[in-house]
Chains A and B, each alone.
Chain A
Amino acid sequence: MKVIVLAIKGIKESFRDIKNIAFLLAFPLMFLVLFRVAFGFGPEATNTYDILVLDQDDGEGPWDQTDPQWLPLYNAAMGTNFTGPEFFHAVILEGKTDTAGQYFVDEILSTAIYEDNETKMFNIKMVSSRAEGEDMVSKGDAALLVVIPANYSSAIQGVVDQAIVDEVRAHSISVNASSDQYAHTKLELTGELGNFDFSFASSMVSGQLMQYLAILEGTVRYAVGSTFPDGPATLEGGSVGLVFVSIGETDEFTLFDWQAPGMIIFALMMTAIYVTATLATEVKNKTLQRLRLTKMTSFDMMGGTTLRWLFIGTFQLIIMIVVIWALGVNFAGEFGPTFGAIFLISLVAILASISLGLIISAFVDDPEQAGNIGTAIVIPMSFLTGAFFPMDVPAAQLLPWTQASLAMKQVMLYADWEAATTHTMYALVAAVIVFIIGVIIFQRKRLRA
C-alpha cells in the first residue's frame, strides 16, 4: 500500500528531525502548563477576587436632622421608641456598623460566597485614598477599586424611606415621603475596563449591591407590612433575589478548567502549520516532483500525509491528555468516558487541521513562508472558533474547530454526551468538507501535470 509507505516515510522523517518533533510534542505541554500557571491552581485562587475599597461614607443622612414621618407609626406598631438615627443603626445596620458603607463592606461584600462551594467571592483590602487604590489596581494587585461615596448612608436612608412609604400606601394610608433631601449617589468601580478580572469582579460587586438593595427594600416593607391587620403587601426579602450557582458539576471549576477545552483545540490547530511546513519542504526540495514521477497517485499522497499527521497528532494528544491529567484539570464526567471523548473529538480536530494545512501548502513555496502564512491564518482562526472566549461570529459556527471546541466543552464541563455527540458530528462533517477542499486544491496546485 503506497499510502502506508508514504505515511511511514513521513513519520520517520518527523521523528528523526529531533528539534522539530521536540517542539511539536512539547508545544501543547508548555502551552497548557503556562496557562495553568497563569490561571492559578485552585478554585480559591481563581474565583476569589482581590478588590480594594475606599470607604468615604460619612454615615450622615436626613434622619439625623428630622425623624421620618412614618417612624411614629412604626414605633407604635413595634413597641419601640426609636429616633431616626437609632432606627437607622439598630434596624437598617443591625447594630453592626456605624455607616451604610461600612455595612456594605463588612456584611455584604466580605461575606459574599458562591452558592455551591462556599468559596469567598472577594478578598477585600481597604485603602485610604483613590490614588493608592488606582496605583494598586494598575500594578495588578487587585481586580478593581470600589469607591463608596460620602453620601452613601443618606442614599440608603432614601431607599428605606421610599420602601416604607410604598408599603404604607399599599394599605391605603396616605403618607408623604419624609424628606426630599435623600442623596442620589453612585458607587464607583474603578479598574481596567477590558481586563477579564475587572469584568468578572465588577459584575459580582454590582450583583451584590443590587441584591442587597432588593433585599433591604423587601425586608423593610415586609416588616412594616406585617404590622397591618391585612398583612404585608410584599414578600419577605423582596420578590427578586440573586444567587450565584454553578451549572452541573462546575462548582469546583477554576478559570483554567473553563479554558482547557479551547486550549486543547488551539494546540491541535497548530498541526496545520506543521503540515504546511512539511509539504512546503517537499516542494522546495523538489522531492514532491520526484514523488510525482513515480506511480504514486494523488490519493496515495493525500492519504499518506493524513495518516502521518493523524499518527503524530495522536502521539501529541496522548502527551496532552497525560499533561491535562497531571495538571489536575477538573471535568464533569467520569475519567474513562471523558478522556475517550476528548480523544475522539481531538482526532476530528486534527483531521480538520491537516486539511487546513493542505490548503495553505498549496499556496506556499518554502517552509519559511509556511511558518509565517500558517501562523497568520491559524492564530486569528483560533480566536474565531472561540477557543479562547466566545465569539459572536455566526459564520465561525461552520468551522470544524468551533464545533470541536463546543463538543470538548460539553464533555469536559458538563458531561453532556448528547450535546457533545451532536457537535462532534457537525465537526466531523465540516472536517471532511475542509479535507475534500484541501485535497482538491493541493491536487490542482501541486500534483497536476
Chain B
Amino acid sequence: MVDHVIETEHLKMIYPGGLEAVKDLSIKVRRGEVFGFLGPNGAGKTTALNMMVGLLKPTKGRTLIDGEEVKPWSRTVKEKIGIVPQETILWENLTCTENLMLLANLYEVPKEEGQARTARLLEELQLADKADARAKALSGGMKRRLNLAMGLVNEPDVILLDEPSPGLDPQTRRVLWEYIADLPKKGHTLILTTHDMDEADYLSDRVAIIDNGELLVLDEPRKLKASVGEGDVLELAFDEGADLQKAAEDFTSLGYIISANVTAGRVVIRTKDAMSRLPEVFEFVKEHDSEIRDVRYRGNTLEDVFIDLTGRALRDGD
C-alpha cells in the first residue's frame, strides 16, 4: 500500500474580488518522493502549494498531513514542513552558523543537536569554510545553498522547494541538484516547483501540471513525455513577418509530420527520424516562399507535455 504524506481533498481558493485561483485540487503526495509541480505564472501554482503544505487556508476542501487534517500555520505544519523559498531569505548580518542556529533554536532543536546539524549541513552544502562568514559576504550560489540549509535544519518530513536553482552557474546548479536528489534517501519528501523543465525532469519522481487553477495531469515524467507521442522535435525559427500559424497548418498536411504548432515564436514540429527529414522540411519551406533562420533538434520534454495539453508554452505565461 502506498504511503501518502500529504493528501489534498477538493481544495478551492477564491480570493477577495472573486478570483478563483484554484478550482478543485485533489492530490496525493507519496512519502519519500520528489513531487514536481509545474505551471506557468498565474496558474495557481503557489496558491495550491501553500494550501497543500498548510500555509494558506482554502476556501473549500482540506489538507491532510500524515492523515491528520491541518489548520494553517498549526504546530503540526511547522513541525513537518520545511520551506526553501525562491528568494534567498537570510539575516544578512548574521553568520552562516548563526543563521542556522537561530532557526534550530526557534524549531526547539536541542542545542547540541542543532550544532551538529548546522555543522553537517554546512559541510554537505560545501559551506563549512564560510561557517563564520556573514551571509551578506557570500556569493549568490553560496547564499542559495545556505537558503536550502535553512529549510532543512529542522529536518522536516516534507520540504517545499520553490525554484531552487535559478540564476546559478552550471557547476553550483549541479551540486544543488545532486544534494536535492539525495534528500529522499534521508527520509524527506520533496515538493518541487520550477519553471526549469530540465530541473523538473531530472529531480522529479512524479510531476503535476497545473493551469488556470486546475490539475491537468499527474504522472511520472517518463510516462508524460511518452504520452505526447513518438518522434523527435524540430523547432524552426522563421524570418520576421512569416505567418507562423499558416506554416504550422501547412506542415500538418505532410504525411510524415505527427504534429505542428506555434510556441514561443517558433514552429514546433514532431516527426519520426527528424534528422533525415530535415532536407524535405527545408524544401517544403522554400516552396512556400519562406526562409528558415534557425533550427533546433531535441527529444520530447515536459514542455512538450504542457504544450500538448494547453497549446501554450510554459514560458508564454511569464
- Which residues from chain A sit less than 8 Å from chain B, CB to CB? 2, 5-6, 9, 12-13, 16-17, 285-287, 289-296, 300, 449
Given contacts A16-B134, A292-B73, A293-B78, whether A2 and B91 have CB atoms under 8 Å apart is no
Shortest CB-to-CB span from B94 to chain A, Å, is: 6
Closest 9 CB pairs of A and B: A294-B106, A449-B73, A16-B93, A449-B72, A5-B105, A13-B93, A296-B106, A286-B89, A290-B89
Chain B residue with minimal CB distance to A282?
Answer: B91
Q: Name the distance in Å between B276's Cβ and chain A's nearest Cβ.
A: 53
Instruction: Name the CB-closest residue of A to B78.
Output: A295
* B87 lies within 8 A of A286 (CB): yes
Q: A12-B94, A293-B78, A295-B75 are in contact. Are A285 and B106 (CB under 8 A)?
A: no
CA distance A290 to B102 in the complex (A): 11
Closest to A289 in B: B89
Using Cβ atoms and an 8 Å threshold, which residues of chain A touch B202? none
A359 to B: closest C-beta gap in Å: 23
Question: What separation, in Å, do the CA atoms of A293 and B55 have in the docked complex?
Answer: 9
Tell me what chain B mostly uses at the interface: helix, strand, loop, or mixed: loop
Contact A12–B87 (Cβ < 8 Å): no
Chain A residue at smallest Cβ distance from B85:
A286
Query: B106 — which chain A residues lie within 8 A by C-beta?
Result: 2, 5-6, 291, 294-296, 300
0/1 string, B66-78, CB within 8 A of A gives 1: 0000001101001
Which among A2, A13, A289 is the interface contact of B94 at CB below 8 angstroms? A13
**Residue from the list B73, B87, B89, B105 in contact with A2, Cβ < 8 A:** B105
B103 sits at the interface (CB 8 A): yes
**How many whole Å from A5's CB to the nearest CB in chain B?**
5
With A and B bound together, what is the CA distance between A410 and B154 in angstroms? 53
Q: Which chain B residues lie closer than 8 Å to A292 at the CB level?
A: 73
- Residues from chain A with Cβ under 8 Å of B21 in the complex: none
* Sample (29) of A-B pairs whose CB atoms are under 8 Å apart: A5-B106, A9-B91, A9-B94, A12-B94, A12-B98, A17-B93, A285-B89, A285-B92, A286-B85, A286-B89, A287-B89, A287-B90, A287-B91, A289-B89, A290-B85, A290-B89, A293-B78, A293-B81, A294-B106, A294-B107, A295-B75, A295-B78, A295-B79, A295-B106, A295-B108, A296-B106, A300-B106, A449-B55, A449-B72
- Confirm or deny: B236 has a beta carbon within 8 angstroms of a beta carbon on chain A: no
Residue of A nearest to B136 (CB): A16
Within the complex, the shortest CB–CB distance from A250 to chain B, in Å, comes to 46
B57 at the interface (CB under 8 A from A): yes
Most buried by A among B72, B83, B85, B106: B106
The answer to whether B122 has its CB under 8 Å from any CB of chain A is: no
Bound form: Cα–Cα A296–B108 in Å: 9
Residues of B within 8 A of A293 (CB): 55, 78, 81, 83
CB proximity of B144 to chain A, nearest CB, Å? 15
* B150 contacts chain A at the CB level, 8 A cutoff: yes
Q: A252 to B72: give the CA distance in the assembly, Å.
A: 65
Contact with A along B132-158 (1 / 0, CB 8 A): 001000000000000000100010000
**Chain B positions 93 through 125: 1 when the CB is less than 8 Å from some CB of chain A, otherwise 0:** 110001000110111100000000000000000
**Which residue of chain B has the shortest Cβ distance to A9 in the bound complex?**
B102
- Additional A-B contacts beyond A287-B91, A289-B89 (5; CB < 8 A): A5-B105, A9-B98, A286-B85, A449-B57, A449-B72
- Number of residues of chain B lying within 8 A (CB) of chain A: 27
Residues of B within 8 A of A (CB): 55, 57, 72-73, 75, 78-79, 81, 83, 85, 87, 89-94, 98, 102-103, 105-108, 134, 150, 154
Contacts of B90 in A (CB 8 A): 287
Q: Do A5 and B102 touch (CB < 8 A)?
A: yes
* Nearest chain B residue, comparing its CB with the CB of A290: B89
How far apart are A44's CB and chain B's nearest CB, in angstroms?
49
B55 CB contacts on chain A under 8 angstroms: 293, 449
With A9-B102, A286-B85 as known contacts, state yes or no: A295 contacts B91, CB within 8 Å.
no
Q: Name the B residues within 8 Å of A5 (CB-CB).
A: 102, 105-106
* A243 to B: closest C-beta gap in Å: 60
Closest approach, in angstroms, between the C-beta of A22 and any C-beta of chain B? 14
Closest Cβ–Cβ distance, residue B209 to chain A (whole Å): 27
CB distance from A132 to the nearest CB of B (A): 61
Cα distance A294–B57 in the bound complex, in angstroms: 18
CA A16 to CA B99, docked complex, whole Å: 14
Distance (Å) between the CB of A341 and the closest chain B CB? 35
- Nearest-neighbour CB distance to chain A for B115, whole angstroms, equals 14
Residues of the A chain whose Cβ atoms lie less than 8 Å from the Cβ of B92: 285
Q: How far is the CA of A295 from the CA of B169 in the complex (A)?
A: 35
Residues of A within 8 A of B83 (CB): 290, 293
Asked whether A290 lies within 8 Å of B150 as measured between CB atoms, the reply is: yes
**CB <8 Å contact, A13 and B91:** yes
For B87, list chain A residues within 8 Å (CB). 286
Contact A295 B107 (CB under 8 A): yes
Across-interface contacts of B108 in A (CB, < 8 A): 295
Tell me which residues across on chain B come within 8 A of A289, comparing CB atoms: 85, 89
Complex Cα distance, B72 from A296, in Å, reads 15
Question: What B residues does A286 contact at CB under 8 A?
Answer: 85, 87, 89
* Identity of the chain A residue whose Cβ is nearest the Cβ of B101 in the assembled complex: A5
Most B-side CB within 10 Å, residue of A287, A293, A296, A300: A293
Distance (whole angstroms) from the CB of A76 to the closest CB of chain B: 96
Specify which chain B residues have a CB less than 8 angstroms from the CB of A16 in the assembled complex.
93, 134
In whole Å, how far is B164's beta carbon from the nearest beta carbon of chain A? 16
Report Cα–Cα, A293/B76, bound state, in Å: 11
Name A12's closest neighbour in chain B (CB-CB): B94
Minimum Cβ distance to chain B for residue A350 (Å): 22
Minimum C-beta distance from A71 to chain B (A): 90
Contact in complex: A294, B78 (CB < 8 Å): yes
Give the distance in Å from the alpha carbon of A412 to the alpha carbon of B4 in the complex: 70
Neighbouring A residues of B107 by C-beta, 8 Å: 294-295
* Best-surrounded residue of B87, B98, B102, B103 (most CB of chain A within 10 A): B102
Chain B residue nearest to A4 in the complex (CB): B105
List the A side residues contacting B79 at CB < 8 Å: 295
Bound CA span A13–B87, Å:
20
Residues of B within 8 A of A6 (CB): 106
Question: Is A294 a contact partner of B89 (Cβ separation < 8 A)?
Answer: no
Which has the most chain A C-beta neighbours within 10 Å: B57, B72, B103, B154? B103
**What separation, in Å, do the CA atoms of A292 and B134 have in the docked complex?**
22
